[in-house]
Chains A and B, each alone.
Chain A
Amino acid sequence: MILVLVVVAALGFDFTNGFHDTANAMATSIATGALRPKMAVLLAGVLNLVGAFLSVQVALTVTNAVVKIQSSNGTPKPELLTDGGSALLLIVLAGLIGGIVWNLLTWLLGLPSSSSHALFGGLIGATIAGLGWAGVNWNGDGSKLDGVVGKVLLPALLSPVIAGVVAALGTWLIYKVVVGVATRFTDHGFRWGQIGSASLVSLAHGTNDAQKTMGVITLALIASGDWTDTKSIPFWVKVACALAIGLGTYLGGWRIIRTLGKGLVEITPPQGLAAQSASAAVILASSHLGFALSTTHVATGSILGAGIGTKGAEVRWRVAGRLVAAWLITLPAAGLVGALMWWAGHLVGGLAGAIVIFVVLLAVAGAVYQRSRRDPVDHNNVNAAWAPIASPDEPRLPVSTAS
């Protein structure tokens, strides 16, 4: 029964992961009008769905990067398996809830924060609460880039800078190259360049991110004794995760698309092409070289870079500052929620505890949805002019984040 809640929460996380990250691939194409908003989210959704099915490889050891609840071959730690694996299931459930709550709050505020940081943060918090500080893989074992520092913190510092440098250089060169060509002519060409590079980002996102949720669900199934194979995942898990991330992407996190597409820089087609190509290249190159990073950080860095690389373009550094602040608190904030959820669940105990924290999740999700209705952002007003002062949908940082 707790297992059912874990699976539903994992799919819920996958769904928020989808709509949180639509912007990473499509914000620039939507802002420049290369694709109509509805068309863009449909394309991104389908590509995420396809990408999720492409990931045949098992990402069962996804949690090993940050916490120690699995052994290196992917099976859960035996000491967590007494009582039908409920100790592990509670940690995973609390961690997922931490990730979802943070994703929902940042979406409400239109902040593009990293979904993988939210998931890892939630898991870290729940693990600290459940197993103590030693349960967290802080620094790896020194043989490779690993642990919270190596897999989460350092890439988060480096990847936006790399993406920004590439995009800035790309933008600057592209503007140099097309001097003297009529704008009407270039915009048509750049439109296709943008669509192509945005599609690559979407596809890569589907392959990477859906895999994480598949790994978490399979881990839960193994813990409860409903699955034993560590080399493959149940087919229904794959279908469910692919659908969840595809649907989430199609729903489109319009608030976040607006922030990335209009809030940071008024994106022009050449900038869109440069930013999206830089994102695609950085994401693919780093995943080829085993350098874990967040699509969100890369996409934001690229867009900022494209703004810096254009003479006379205005970069709204105040908005950028808010995003960076949100990135900094994502891990601890999701961790705090995860830890609180674990304590609450543990205090009540057993199945009742799991149900209680699940109900809390539903309540928070409902409240966030209600609040979002007050100033809706959708495909109709996603490109409306960005009013820098006193706009109702201008992202603000939450004063208090734990619910």
Chain B
Amino acid sequence: MHNLGFALDGAWRVLLASLILGAGLPVLFALGIRSLAWGAGGDAEVHESGVTGPTPHRIGTVLGWACFVVVLAGVVLGITFIVASGFGKALSFEHIYPAIVNK
């Protein structure tokens, strides 16, 4: 059953990459939303009714958008991969940063 070996080998790679991109990025996105809420203060955060909400924190807004930029970079990477593979190219992670190479 050589196929089983190949499949398990492929599977754990897919799992690892997907955990980083498929669970990591959305969690970062959620962190971004949390930061924005912290930054906005007031009704964006859960607080006791009848009292004024938490005060806004400017830094939260900045942090939130920073998270979104990283998430967006991940999405751009995904689109680049789809387009590149359509044109017979591949993304190489050989030098850590992604580069487009011929298949």
A-side contacts of B46, CB under 8 Å? 180-182
Rounded to whole angstroms, the CA-CA distance of A186 and B23 in the bound complex is 17
A149 touching B3 in the complex, CB below 8 Å, given contacts A174-B27, A288-B90: yes
* A193 partner residues in chain B, CB cutoff 8 A: 26, 29
* A145-B6, A180-B45, A200-B78 known; A166-B15 Cβ under 8 A: yes
State whether the Cβ of A71 lies closer than 8 Å to any Cβ in chain B: no
B17 touches A287 (CB 8 A): no
Q: Which of A21-29, A49-57, A254-262, A359-367 lies at the binding interface?
A: A49-57
A-B contact count (CB 8 A): 169
Q: Which residues of B contact A167 (CB under 8 A)?
A: 22-23
| Interface-facing stretch out of A101-109, A271-279, A332-340 | A271-279
Measured in the bound complex, the distance between the Cα atoms of B18 and A53 in whole Å is: 26
Do B90 and A177 touch (CB < 8 A)?
Answer: no
User: A169: which B residues are within 8 A, CB to CB?
Assistant: 19, 23
CA gap between A277 and B26 in the complex, in Å: 7
B27 touches A189 (CB 8 A): no
Q: Is the CB of A154 within 8 A of B34?
A: no
A57 and B33 within 8 A (CB): no
Chain B's nearest CB lies how many Å from the CB of A52? Answer: 9
A352 CB-CB contact with B under 8 Å: no
> Could you tell me the distance in whole angstroms from the C-beta of B21 to the nearest C-beta in chain A?
4
Q: Assuming the A-B contacts A57-B85, A57-B86, are A185 and B14 also in contact, with contact meaning beta carbons closer than 8 angstroms in the complex? A: no
Provided the pairs A174-B30, A181-B37 are in contact, do residues A144 and B44 lie with their beta carbons within 8 angstroms?
Answer: no
Contact-size category for A: 35 or more
**Chain A residues, CB < 8 A from B29:** 189, 193, 273
Instruction: Quote the shortest CB–CB distance from A145 to chain B (angstroms).
Output: 4
Task: Give how many B residues have a beta carbon under 8 Å from the other chain's beta carbons.
Answer: 45
Would you give the shortest CB distance from A11 to chain B, in whole angstroms? 20
Asked if A56 and B86 make an inter-chain contact with CB atoms under 8 angstroms apart, the answer reads yes
Decide: A185 and B23 in contact? CB cutoff 8 A: no
Residue from B29, B30, B79 with most neighbouring chain A CB atoms (10 Å)? B30
Question: Across the interface, which residues of B come within 8 angstroms of A144, CB to CB?
Answer: 6
Complex Cα–Cα for A51 and B90 (A): 16
Q: Is the CB of B22 within 8 A of A282?
A: yes
A window 164-184: CB within 8 A of B = 165-167, 169-170, 173-174, 177-178, 180-182, 184
Q: Are A291 and B22 in contact (CB under 8 A)?
A: no
Q: How far apart are the CA atoms of A291 and B31 in the complex, in Å?
A: 31
Q: Any chain A CB within 8 A of the CB of B100? A: no
CA distance A285 to B17 in the complex (A): 6
Within 8 Å CB of A285, what residues of B? 13-14, 17-18, 21-22
The chain B residue sitting closest to A147, CB to CB, is B3
Residue of A nearest to B33 (CB): A189
Of all chain B residues, which has the CB nearest A290? B10
Most A CB contacts (10 A, CB to CB) among B29, B32, B75 go to B29
Q: Is the CB of A196 within 8 A of B22?
A: no
Determine if A178 and B10 form an interchain contact, defined as CB atoms under 8 angstroms apart. Answer: no
Q: Report 9 cross-chain contacts, Cβ distance below 8 Å, ordered by A residue.
A: A149-B3, A169-B19, A173-B27, A181-B45, A182-B44, A200-B79, A277-B26, A282-B14, A289-B17
**A166-B23, A182-B43, A290-B10 provided; 20 other pairs, C-beta below 8 A?**
A55-B86, A150-B7, A154-B4, A158-B8, A174-B27, A180-B34, A180-B45, A181-B45, A189-B32, A274-B23, A278-B18, A281-B18, A282-B22, A284-B21, A284-B81, A284-B82, A285-B14, A286-B10, A286-B14, A288-B81
